[in-house]
Chains A and B, each alone.
Chain A
Amino acid sequence: MLDVLVIGGGNAALCAALMAREAGASVTLLEAAPREWRGGNSQHTRNLRCMHDAPQDVLVDAYPEEEYWQDLLKVTGGITNEALARLTIRASSNCRDWMRKHGVHFQPPLSGALHVARTNAFFMGGGKALVNAYFRSAEKLGVQIRYDTAVVSVELDGDRFVAACTASGERIEARSCVLAAGGFESNRDWLREAWGQNGRGEWPSDNFLIRGTRFNQGVLLKSMMEAGADSIGDPTQAHMVAIDARAPLYDGGICTRIDCVSLGVVVNREAQRFYDEGEDFWPKRYAIWGRLVAQQPGQIGYSIIDQKAIGRFMPPVFAGVTANTLAELASRLGLPERAFVHTVEAYNAACRPGSFDHTALDDCRTEGLTPAKTHWARPIDTPPYYGYALKPGVTFTYLGLKVNDKSAVHFGGRPSPNLFVAGEMMAGNVLGQGYTAGVGMSIGTAFGRIAGTQAALAALKEFEHAAA
């Protein structure tokens, strides 16, 4: 009988498969996607948040455990498990040699991402290159890989894993199992259920775009919860950013983000501003804008800048809508002209002179305007004007399965002896809300590796038990 069955094909699944195989177990990995779409959301990632006490190859200075923990505490608002968080943090300090051994290469921080040069190690070529390297290494080590193999449910004997059932009705037995099949953000029905209907009678999630894989349908997550597995995390919450409204429904990835919000104004469908665009540096604020846009009528917003902003933000993937007058821009964007011109003129009039510096929290702000713009407020008066339509883009969902430090799935508070979970399916244990760059990969790598080791051990125990 097979020792370890790994369900999923992203970073956490691959880490689990590699560790289990290295421990001597026979391993089969089931990826729901076809080969060309393999890797789940990991194919869109770019770095790993790493604890380090001294400079390390691509990482500058130090990022000690305590600082990392404080960062996590801050972004999650305390919705985290300190023991599991610290375990993740420590694991991030010593996993990179193992990653390199399996073919992952690191590169210096990308231009446009120097703000994380100290805290994050970038994968050369990004997450898909990492996924490719892990798949190659797994194949070489003799892990059996099956694509196009979605698992719909798991057969249990009490809290013990017995077999997995695939979408095609196949039953695959194994001595132990690692679940690493991602969240449910690609499941439109589930999102609809979670977000419900708003006061305007809209179903907001119908206008959401999914930044990652189309294969995170949450089928296995739902079936595990129905089977009595303990869950964690708010089912109605998702990490959302404001992305270009023209982005594809799935797999838009990183390039669809719009980074010019803080350099101009953002209006809704009615041409009204609704939030302080200059509250803080964009990397610290981009994650709230998905939700802000989701609350607007039609779940759409419009980022408006003028010529002065060009060259000061990451170039967007799609060319902006341009015009030489504000009225013309409004008409091209399909916004009410008079209201739009009024909003921008009111904003322009409220801008107080200051010394503009987009690299600092400068003193350019509005006065007597609601909502205020507290930094980088400069009149939008230099044509051509540019407009980018924004929609909420879901990165991942927080709902997952509860684990302990062995990554075991729990039933009624008791850990399963041979069923483990890793990656986005349990990230909510550490990251109950919020996000900070690279932490998803830290959690996936740490718990993927733990789950793989534990699954190999559990398989050995099952084998000995059966032999006795």
Chain B
Amino acid sequence: MQQLESLAREAVALAAGSRTVIPILSAREAEVGRQMQICNACRYCEGFCAVFPAMTRRLEFGKADIHFLANLCHNCGACLHACQYAPPHEFAVNVPQAMAQVRGQTYVDYAWPPALGALYQRNGLTLSLALATGLALFLILAVAVNGTLWGGQLGGNFYNLFPHNLLVGLFAPVFLFATLALAMGVRGFWRDVTPATSGAPLSGPAAAEATDAVLRLKYLDGGHGMGCNNDDDAFTLARRRFHHFTFYGFLLCFAATSVATIYHYAFGWTAPYELPSLPKLLGVVGGVSLMIGTAGLWHLNRRRHPLHGDAVQRPMDLGFIALLFLTSASGLALWLGRGTPALAVLLCLHLGAVMALFATLPYGKFGHGIFRSAALLRHAIEKRQPNTIGLAAD
């Protein structure tokens, strides 16, 4: 029905000789457009985040505007609890939910290659299959190489099971593909939202501001520093903090791997590394941080107010959180259990988890960070351009 209306609108616009053709909005996009028109006539939430100031620069909400705003929204929940038009009001305004639903759709729409976008829609299944495949791959390999999964002549060194070059040969292509897929996805998004966000090119100050917003998770601070909402209308910094644990934990683990790669190729220092070597230090701190962060986010996610976000995406959120937790926990277990007969099993578990994580990076929750960063960057660029709307009251 919504599509029919958009089609009719487009036909009318064409008949009237209007130069701008309104792209057809999906039902979810039309819902964001409807809510934004209500919000734009109210504006009480301007102080909470970047979405509302960006909204006030617009009078109409086209597809690209909606995609941009949906990815700018951090689903903090503040505007829902503050909203005089939230359900049970007949206007039924729930911006975090409407935005989340479109956001989920943009992940699918911009996925590269496009055919794999469908993986988002059944993300729980995608993650489970990836994990099962990863595990099976390494377990079978281990038995083939070692003859057994328990004990064996490994001497605490996992390269005795899987030689370095074999691991590089398995992981490098998957990782490079994931990076390429994410880059292609966000490239498409950037190309579509740029004209809708002033079209201006990237500038140093805008990049600095967006980076700051990403690294500090500025828009989970509620605009007043007390944090966002989780269970109810009270503000909490817990979500922001656990996200920091997760994000920085992930970065530290990634740094550990990168340093280890440099050690290996540049200096010929081969793994396993022990404390207090830099890769181990980064890995242990990162792994523990990742476990704390994901455990916290899991707990908060389970207690989220039912009206927050898009319930359909819950399996994707929780699946990603669980996989990150499994990756970090198995990594730490591998380190602690390296001298035990369990080494081979632990190694397979960890490598299987990492493989599943890498393989699903472009088709799961990880994408939110990439698309949101791009939206924040476009916002930082757009807000530096003169506002074309001049209200009489101002």
Interface residues, chain A, with chain B CB atoms under 8 Å away:
36-37, 43-44, 46, 105, 107-108, 110-115, 122-129, 132, 136, 248, 251, 253-257, 259, 262-263, 281-283, 310-319, 324, 358-359
A255 adjacent to B42 (CB under 8 Å)? yes
Interface positions of B from 377 to 394, Cβ below 8 Å from A: 388-394
Contact in complex: B393, A44 (CB < 8 Å) = no
Residues in B whose Cβ lies below 8 Å from that of A319: 37
| Min CB gap B383→A, angstroms | 12
The residues in B between 33 and 87 inclusive whose CB is less than 8 angstroms from any CB of A are 37-38, 40-48, 53, 56, 59, 78-79, 81-85, 87
Indicate whether B19 reaches chain A with its CB closer than 8 angstroms: no
Q: What's the minimum C-beta distance from B233 to chain A, rounded to whole angstroms?
A: 4
User: For chain B, which range describes its interface: under 10, 10 to 19, 20 to 34, or 35 or more residues?
Assistant: 35 or more
Inter-subunit contact B44/A313 (CB<8 Å)? no
The reply to whether the CB of B163 lies closer than 8 angstroms to some CB of chain A is: no
B41/A316 in contact, CB under 8 A: yes
What's the minimum C-beta distance from B221 to chain A, rounded to whole angstroms?
11
Which of B47, B90, B394 is within 8 Å of A115, CB to CB?
Answer: B394
Docked-complex contact B37 and A359, CB < 8 angstroms:
no
Judging by beta carbons under 8 Å apart, are A248 and B43 in contact?
no
Instruction: Identify which of A36, A112, A129 contacts B43 (C-beta below 8 A).
Output: A112
Question: Which residues of chain B have C-beta atoms less than 8 A from A124's C-beta?
Answer: 47-48, 82, 223-224
Q: How far is the CA of A99 from the CA of B382 in the complex (A)?
A: 35
Indicate if the CB atoms of A111 and B43 lie closer than 8 Å.
yes
Rank and list the top 6 A-B pairs by shortest CB-CB distance, nearest first: A126-B44, A125-B82, A107-B47, A255-B41, A129-B82, A317-B41
Q: Do A259 and B226 have beta carbons less than 8 Å apart?
A: no
Q: A115-B394, A127-B84, A312-B391 are in contact. List 7 more A-B contacts (CB 8 A).
A: A112-B393, A124-B48, A125-B78, A125-B82, A129-B81, A253-B85, A358-B392
Complex Cα gap A253–B394 (Å): 21
A112 touches B47 (CB 8 A): no
Q: Report the separation of the CA atoms of residues A283 and B394 in the bound assembly, to the nearest whole angstrom.
A: 10
Query: Would B38 and A255 count as touching, CB distance under 8 A?
Result: yes
Candidate in A110, A254, A324 with the most chain B CB atoms within 10 angstroms: A110
- Contact, CB under 8 Å: B82 / A311: no
Contact A248 B391 (CB under 8 A): no
- Any chain A CB within 8 A of the CB of B88? yes
Docked pose: A108 CA to B43 CA in angstroms: 12
Determine whether the beta carbon of B84 is less than 8 Å from that of A44: yes
Question: What residues on B are CB-neighbors of A136 within 8 Å?
Answer: 233-234
A36 pairs with B41, CB closer than 8 A: no
Residues of B within 8 A of A358 (CB): 390, 392
List 10 contacting pairs A-B, 8 Å CB cutoff, sorted by A: A113-B393, A113-B394, A126-B42, A136-B233, A259-B392, A282-B392, A310-B59, A312-B390, A314-B41, A319-B37
Q: Does B275 contact A (CB under 8 A)?
A: no
Q: Does B16 contact A (CB under 8 A)?
A: yes
Judge whether B392 and A126 touch: CB under 8 Å: no
* With A126-B84, A253-B84, A255-B38: A313-B392 Cβ-Cβ less than 8 Å: yes
Given contacts A110-B44, A115-B394, A314-B41, contact A324 B16 (CB under 8 A): yes
**B contact residues around A263 at 8 Å (CB):** 392
Q: Name the contact of B81 in the complex, choosing from A132, A254, A314 (C-beta under 8 A).
A: A132
Tell me the B residues contacting A by CB distance below 8 Å.
Answer: 16, 37-38, 40-48, 53, 56, 59, 78-79, 81-85, 87-91, 223-224, 226, 233-234, 388-394
- Cα A203 to Cα B40 with chains together (Å): 34
Instruction: Please state if A317 and B37 are interface contacts (CB–CB under 8 Å).
Output: yes
Contacts of B45 in A (CB 8 A): 125-126
The listed residue with most B CB atoms (<10 A of its CB), out of A111, A126, A281, A282, is A111
Given the complex of chains A and B, what is the CA–CA distance between A302 and B137 in angstroms? 71
Cβ–Cβ contact A315 & B40, under 8 A: yes
**Separation of A122 and B44 alpha carbons in the complex (Å):** 9
Q: How far apart are the CA atoms of A312 and B391 in the complex, in Å?
A: 4
Contact of A128 with B84 at beta-carbon distance under 8 Å, contacts A255-B38, A311-B389, A315-B40 already known: yes
What B residues does A122 contact at CB under 8 A? 47
Assembled-state Cα–Cα distance A313/B82 (Å) = 24
Name which residue of chain A comes closest to B40, CB basis: A315
Shortest B200–chain A CB gap in Å is 20
Determine the chain A residues whose CB is within 8 A of the CB of B81 once the complex forms. 125, 128-129, 132
Tell me how far the C-beta of B306 lies from the nearest C-beta in chain A, rounded to whole angstroms.
13
Give the complex CA separation of A263 and B392 in angstroms.
Answer: 9
Contacts of B91 in A (CB 8 A): 248
Across the interface, do A313 and B391 meet the contact criterion of CB distance under 8 Å?
yes
Residues of chain A within 8 A of B47, CB atoms compared: 105, 107-108, 122, 124-125
Write out the residue numbers on chain B whose beta carbons fall within 8 Å of the beta carbon of A126: 42, 44-45, 82, 84
**B393 near A282 (CB under 8 angstroms)?**
yes
Residue of B nearest to A358 (CB): B392
Distance between Cα atoms of A440 and B387 in the complex (Å): 33
